[in-house]
Chain A
Amino acid sequence: MIDNTSDRPTQEITLTVNGNEITEEVEPRHKLSDFLRYRADETDVRVGCEHGACGACTVEVDGKNVKSCMLFAVQADGSEVLTSKALNDDDELGPIQEAFHENHALQCGFCTSGFIMATKELLEENPDPDREEIVEGLSDNICRCTGYVNIIKAVEDAADRIDTVSQATGDD
């Protein structure tokens, strides 16, 4: 938890999280992951190792993925942050989330939001990755349940789903 009841100095920051602008006082030592979970109430951001090894806390900051436990919240002042929730298609699952669901690409689900964000960035840069590129693209994230096979299948499926959607809407 993070609290401001101590007399340690705080700093006011404003972040846009999944489209909502949030202004809060934080201690400089608080992580972006703390801010997202406890101030923005985005509990889809998971904190696994809190030292940059597991990738569960991966979010997008100003268009690029970062591990949110490795960024102090004050460093993200003024930024636009997206969590896995931003990939929803209205109230339904978006194509990446749907692909993870349909391919049983999770067991406990703790790592899933991080994998979904890694998949988003991978497919934006490379819409049709081969297996090796998928493994490389997900290499910042750890799953201790699945053995990764279904996660890789889900990414392949997500690529197909996004391809179908963009063909139907006439996007590139």
Chain B
Amino acid sequence: MKSEPFVYHSPSSVEEVVSLMNEHDHAELVAGNQSLAIQMNNRLATPDHLIDLNGVDELAYVDERDGEIEIGAMTTHKTIANSDAIDRTVPILAEAAQQIAGPSVRNVGTLGGGIGEADPAGNYPTVLTALDATITITSESGDRDVGVDEFFIAYMMTEVGENEMITGATVPTDPFPIGRTGMSFLELKRVPHTWPKLSAAGIVRVDDPTRDDPTVEEARLTFANASDTPLRVEAAESAVEGTSLTDDALEEAAEIAMDSADPADEMQAEAEYKEEQVGIFTKRALREAYDRALDQ
């Protein structure tokens, strides 16, 4: 099927995008066009104006600074998956990007698109929630930074308002010292090009990887598709903190995570099945993160 007619705009700066959004009603921004095109082809989205961000070069960047790393909204999955700076500081983001669909989607799909779509099964919202990132939203009145915990409001709904755009995401790196931090992103899906039924992001920082049974100083645990929005289970994190990730601690974390999950039924994955998997993926993600923290 073809989309409804629209007027196409191809700005080359954020300033131009902002003024186009203010000028035109019923406008949509298009980034990598790997989801919006489907919605437009099926006439689920019928914008009168399409504002293409692919000519806005200033939004494609990875900027590593002291204590944080900032990634531009138009940075592609492929760039994120292959970035040395991301792999060194927050490797879970590269691992998650590499698992999105296949190569031709990763060539063009973007960070900003994935954040803006806010699909509960999406990789970036869940990983950025684990990393406690900040999303930058830009409009005529300038930039505003919104923490991930406030950004994702409900099923496919975000803090981004009328005439606003996502311009980047910033991740604080101080909580994840290289050498004693491990991260793991795991997906449950039958074939690569579909959305995962469930995903888990686990991060573990230990006190000293060289001693016997290092202690978990800090843990992060989030899930995709276990709820309408990215689910962070802080009580499960607490259950493993201060332990050497014993089986008992993992078991407790898994029970807590399963209780916190509120997944929806979908074809090929009933809610009950997903809940059970939340427990299994809690253990796998935290175990892998812990092993990676020790193995460096």
Binding site for B on A (CB under 8 A): 8-9, 11, 27-31, 50-53, 55, 58, 64-67, 69-72, 74-75, 77, 118, 121-122, 136-141
Please give me the residue from chain A that is nearest to B108 by CB atom. A66
Residues of B within 8 A of A55 (CB): 102, 104
A51-B42, A139-B101, A139-B192 are known contacts. Are A72 and B8 too (CB-CB below 8 A)?
yes
Check: B37 CB closer than 8 A to any chain A CB: yes
B104 touches A66 (CB 8 A): yes
Residues of A within 8 A of B102 (CB): 55, 118, 136-141
CA distance A53 to B42 in the complex (A): 13
A70 touches B193 (CB 8 A): no
A11 touches B8 (CB 8 A): yes
A53 touches B193 (CB 8 A): yes
Check: B34 CB closer than 8 A to any chain A CB: yes
* Minimum-distance CB pairs A-B, first 9: A140-B102, A139-B192, A139-B102, A28-B8, A65-B104, A70-B37, A64-B107, A51-B38, A140-B104
Cβ contact of B41, chosen from A28, A50, A74, cutoff 8 A: A50
Residues of A within 8 A of B1 (CB): 50
CA distance A8 to B4 in the complex (A): 11
A9 touches B103 (CB 8 A): no
A8-B5, A29-B4 are known contacts. Are A51 and B41 too (CB-CB below 8 A)?
yes
B7 touches A9 (CB 8 A): yes
Check: B2 CB closer than 8 A to any chain A CB: yes
Check: B105 CB closer than 8 A to any chain A CB: yes
Taking the closest CB of chain B, its distance from the CB of A147, in whole angstroms, is 14
B54 touches A65 (CB 8 A): no
B103 touches A65 (CB 8 A): yes
A29 touches B104 (CB 8 A): no
CA distance A140 to B192 in the complex (A): 8
A75 touches B54 (CB 8 A): yes
A51-B37, A139-B192, A139-B193 are known contacts. Are A28 and B7 too (CB-CB below 8 A)?
yes
Taking the closest CB of chain B, its distance from the CB of A85, in whole angstroms, is 18
B33 touches A118 (CB 8 A): no
Taking the closest CB of chain A, its distance from the CB of B18, in whole angstroms, is 20
B105 touches A140 (CB 8 A): yes
Interface residues of B in 1-25 (CB under 8 A from A): 1-8, 10
Cβ contact of B33, chosen from A64, A65, A75, cutoff 8 A: A75
A136 touches B192 (CB 8 A): yes
Residues of B within 8 A of A67 (CB): 104-105
Check: B50 CB closer than 8 A to any chain A CB: yes
Taking the closest CB of chain B, its distance from the CB of A135, in whole angstroms, is 9
CA distance A72 to B51 in the complex (A): 12
CA distance A136 to B191 in the complex (A): 10
Check: B145 CB closer than 8 A to any chain A CB: no
Taking the closest CB of chain B, its distance from the CB of A47, in whole angstroms, is 11
Check: B52 CB closer than 8 A to any chain A CB: yes
Taking the closest CB of chain B, its distance from the CB of A22, in whole angstroms, is 18
CA distance A74 to B10 in the complex (A): 9
Q: Which of B33, B41, B103 has the most CB of A within 10 A?
A: B103
Residues of A within 8 A of B34 (CB): 52, 70
Q: Which of A29, A69, A118 has the most CB of B within 10 A?
A: A29
Cβ contact of A29, chosen from B6, B10, B38, B52, cutoff 8 A: B6
6 sample A-B contacts, Cβ–Cβ < 8 Å, listed by A number: A28-B5, A28-B7, A50-B1, A51-B41, A74-B10, A75-B8
Q: Which of A65, A77, A122 has the most CB of B within 10 A?
A: A65
Residues of B within 8 A of A122 (CB): 103
CA distance A140 to B193 in the complex (A): 6
CA distance A136 to B103 in the complex (A): 8
CA distance A66 to B1 in the complex (A): 19
**Residue interface mask B180-201, A partner, CB < 8 A = 1:** 0000000000011100000000
B104 touches A71 (CB 8 A): no
**Residue interface mask B160-180, A partner, CB < 8 A = 1:** 000000000000000000000
CA distance A9 to B4 in the complex (A): 12
A9-B7, A51-B37, A71-B33 are known contacts. Are A58 and B2 too (CB-CB below 8 A)?
no
Residues of B within 8 A of A11 (CB): 8
Please give me the residue from chain B that is nearest to A28 by CB atom. B8
CA distance A51 to B40 in the complex (A): 9
Cβ contact of B107, chosen from A9, A29, A65, A139, cutoff 8 A: A65
Residues of B within 8 A of A64 (CB): 104, 107-108
